[in-house]
Amino acid sequence: MSPPRRRAAVIFTGGTISMRLDPVAGGNVPSLSGAEILARTRGLEAIADIVPIDLGRTPASHFTFEGLFEIAAAIRAAQADPAIDGVVLVQGTDVIEETAFFWDLLLDDPTPVVVTGALRSASEPDDDGPVNLRDAVACAVDPQLRGEGVVVVLAGSIDAADDVTKTHATALDTFRSLNDGPLGRVGGAGTRGGGRADSRSGVVVARRRGLRRHVAATSAADRVRLITAHVAMDGSLLDAAVAAGADGLVVEATGAGNTTGALLDAGARAMDRGIPIVLVTRCPAGGAGTGYAFRGGGATWVRAGAMLAGTLTGPKARIALALGLGAGLGRDELAELLRGPVGAGANG
């Protein structure tokens, strides 16, 4: 007796996967509907039955918090359908590391959610959209990924939303988990520790995520600003953000959490006014800490009231802080959310 058919909801929002070259505009522009993208993706019928949900053709760089909450509602509705085994979210890759983490923080249903897209438009003969969509559907309906939260699947790699980072502007294998490594592969190549494969999908899971951050938010603070520290920096940029009405700030410090003394002074003034500040590293991996106690060192930021965020990058820490503030969390609750649960791996 053959196994029952699996079913995936595929939510289309646009992105490079939906674009074609427009000679008049001089570049790629949104062109394809969800139905047209599905028609270009061969082999889906062998993996699962598809329930398409078309939410338009929005470039990822145009997303708003309001729009992300609307997409979250569409994901929740699909997860609530007992006939759906998994959900795929198709979007532009520019901000996948932020949007996937946004939904990862909000969603608590164990039904898999897989975010995917493309680096090459549909006009290019070797575009990667169809294979990425096929892989994403295979992951979404694979029971191994139940309870693993939101994952990102491109170029055959399965990556957790809280660690994945876009490391190259255009490379097909741009998405990497620089702290913990991928959760697995589609097809099994390159996984650590062997992993377990599902014979029907080719999905190999090499490790589990463990505990994750979660926040029950229905809104997000719009004015959480991200400031990157650099050589010879004063505090004027941070002061300007405060003067412009910042709800909170994320400071991407150099190295393990260090800045100039002038930037620390500006940060201390902001925190004295009740504005929360999160300290992270501007490095692509690792985290800020309290190893250095000179003026502007990480220890002095924490003593002044800054919160640490494990190995979350600046953009991810901004998402967590914005949602935490939107949920009305106090300082201690914000610090707990940003720090992450004990036992959450490198991000905890």
Residue-level pLDDT at 193? 33
The residues annotated with a catalytic role in the active site are 16
pLDDT per residue as tens digits for the range 301-345: 999 999 999 999 999 999 999 999 999 999 999 999 999 986 444
- pLDDT more than 90, % of the chain: 91
All structural domains of the chain: 7-205 (3.40.50.1170), 224-347 (3.40.50.40)
The full 3-state SS of the chain, as one line of letters, equals: CCCCCCEEEEEECCCHHHEEEECCCCEEEECCCHHHHHHHCCCHHHCCEEEEEECCCCCHHHCCHHHHHHHHHHHHHHHHCCCCCEEEEECCCCCHHHHHHHHHHHCCCCCCEEEECCCCCCCCCCCCHHHHHHHHHHHHCCHHHCCCCEEEEECCEEEECCCEEECCCCCCCCEEECCCCCCEEECCCCCCCCCEECCCCCEEECCCCCCCCCCCCCCCCCCEEEEECCCCCCCHHHHHHHHCCCCEEEEEEECCCECCHHHHHHHHHHHHCCCCEEEEECCCCCCCCCCCCCCCCHHHHHHHCCEECCCCCHHHHHHHHHHHHHCCCCHHHHHHHHHCCCCCHHHC
Residue-level pLDDT at 210? 87
pLDDT per residue as tens digits for the range 240-264: 999 999 999 999 999 999 999 999 9
Residue-level pLDDT at 345? 44
